[in-house]
């Protein structure tokens, strides 16, 4: 009997030792588990998206907010999805008619597919910058100087269309493109100023000629009307005399009846015929 009791005591002491050992190990294991979980917690801002890779392969796009990835196996790259600005430095290029122009522009774009933006190009910003510079040179070369100066909106639309065809392959959307400063050589500026002045003078002469032609037509119509009604001329003569008389001046007007002027004209014609 004593032997049985000693055996049970030995077994009980062994189990207690195991539990004691497990209790001693549970604290560091719990700490390691908490650290492991904490290392995988990530937070993206509202304007950020996280592109997650699992052992180097694209897995998913996360965010905004809190999410978790497997530490040491997965990693994340963040992408800004707000509208960003690319300023193109001033560059010199030739227009379609061979005029050297200096031009710069501004491009507003945003990433709409973060995974494609990271996987298609090394740096989306630099890709948009290089594509914008190339598209700007090509667009300037396809238009003459007159179009560049007078139809700026049309040129911007053509530039945006050309740039969108490239950027769409990278998961990037072009929001706005605006050609800013367009400088031309000083000699060309003087030539354009002379052309504008000549155009204004030509328009002024045309307007003056049109006015003179309209006045002449009015006088012809008035002459025909007076010829058909001689009394109208006498009324106009009396009106003129009334207007002169109403003014304070020393002009003396001798008004002869129309019959006397007509008789004098007839006598002059008779004398000329006899001579």
* Residue 5 pLDDT > 50: no
Q: Identify the pLDDT of residue 116.
A: 93
Q: Which of 33-37, 54-58, 147-151, 265-269 has the highest mean pLDDT?
A: 54-58
**More confidently predicted of 263 and 138:** 138
For 12-122, list the strands marked E by DSSP. 41-44, 48-54, 57-62, 65-68, 74-80, 84-94, 100-111
Domain boundaries, the chain: 2-80, 84-184
Give the tens place of pLDDT for each residue, 19-74: 555 566 677 888 888 888 889 999 999 999 999 999 989 999 998 999 999 999 99
CA distances from 113 to 48, 59, 61, 74 (A): 12, 14, 9, 20
Q: Identify the pLDDT of residue 42.
A: 92
Q: How confident is the model at residue 10 (pLDDT cuts 50, 70, 90)?
A: very low
Give the tens place of pLDDT for each residue, 221-241: 766 666 666 666 666 666 666
DSSP 1: -
Domain 84-184 has CATH 3.40.1480.10: no
Q: Identify the pLDDT of residue 172.
A: 94
From its phi and psi, is residue 65 left (phi > 0), alpha (psi between -120 and 50) or beta? left
Q: Identify the pLDDT of residue 86.
A: 92
- % of the chain at pLDDT higher than 90: 32
CA distances from 6 to 11, 16, 17 (A): 9, 15, 17
Q: How far apart are CA 96 and CA 155, in angstroms?
A: 13
**More confidently predicted of 168 and 251:** 168
Q: How confident is the model at residue 76 (pLDDT cuts 50, 70, 90)?
A: very high
Give the tens place of pLDDT for each residue, 100-114: 888 889 999 999 999
Q: Identify the pLDDT of residue 197.
A: 57
Mean pLDDT, the chain, whole residue set: 77
Give the tens place of pLDDT for each residue, 169-201: 999 999 999 888 888 766 665 565 566 556 666
Q: Which contiguous run of DSSP H or E holds residue 178? A: strand 172-183
Q: How far apart are CA 69 and CA 94, in angstroms?
A: 53
Q: How confident is the model at residue 121 (pLDDT cuts 50, 70, 90)?
A: very high
């Amino acid at each position: 009997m004593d032997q049985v009791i000693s055996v049970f005591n030995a077994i009980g002491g062994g189990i207690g030792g195991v539990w004691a050992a497990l209790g001693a190990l549970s604290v560091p294991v719990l700490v390691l588990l908490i650290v492991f979980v904490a290392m995988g917690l990530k937070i993206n801002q509202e304007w950020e998206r996280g592109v997650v890779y699992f052992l180097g392969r694209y897995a998913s796009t996360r965010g905004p907010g809190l999410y978790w990835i497997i530490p040491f196996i997965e990693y994340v790259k963040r992408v800004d999805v707000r509208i960003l600005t690319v300023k193109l430095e001033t560059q010199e290029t030739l227009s379609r008619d061979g005029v050297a122009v200096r031009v710069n522009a501004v491009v507003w774009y945003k990433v709409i597919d973060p995974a494609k933006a990271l996987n298609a190009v090394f740096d989306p910003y630099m890709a948009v910058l290089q594509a914008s510079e190339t598209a700007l040179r090509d667009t300037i070369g396809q238009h003459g100087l007159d179009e560049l100066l007078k139809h700026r909106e049309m040129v911007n639309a053509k530039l945006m269309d050309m740039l969108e065809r490239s950027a769409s392959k990278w998961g990037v959307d072009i929001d706005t493109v605006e050609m800013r400063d367009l400088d031309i050589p000083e000699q060309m500026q003087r030539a354009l100023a002379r052309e504008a002045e000549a155009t204004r003078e030509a328009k002024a002469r045309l307007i003056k000629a049109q006015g003179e032609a309209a006045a002449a037509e009015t006088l012809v119509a008035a002459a025909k009307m007076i010829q058909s009604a001689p009394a109208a001329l006498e009324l106009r003569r009396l009106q003129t005399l009334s207007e002169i008389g109403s003014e304070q001046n020393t002009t003396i007007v001798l008004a002869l009846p129309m019959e006397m002027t007509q008789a004098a004209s007839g006598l002059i014609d008779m004398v000329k015929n006899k001579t």
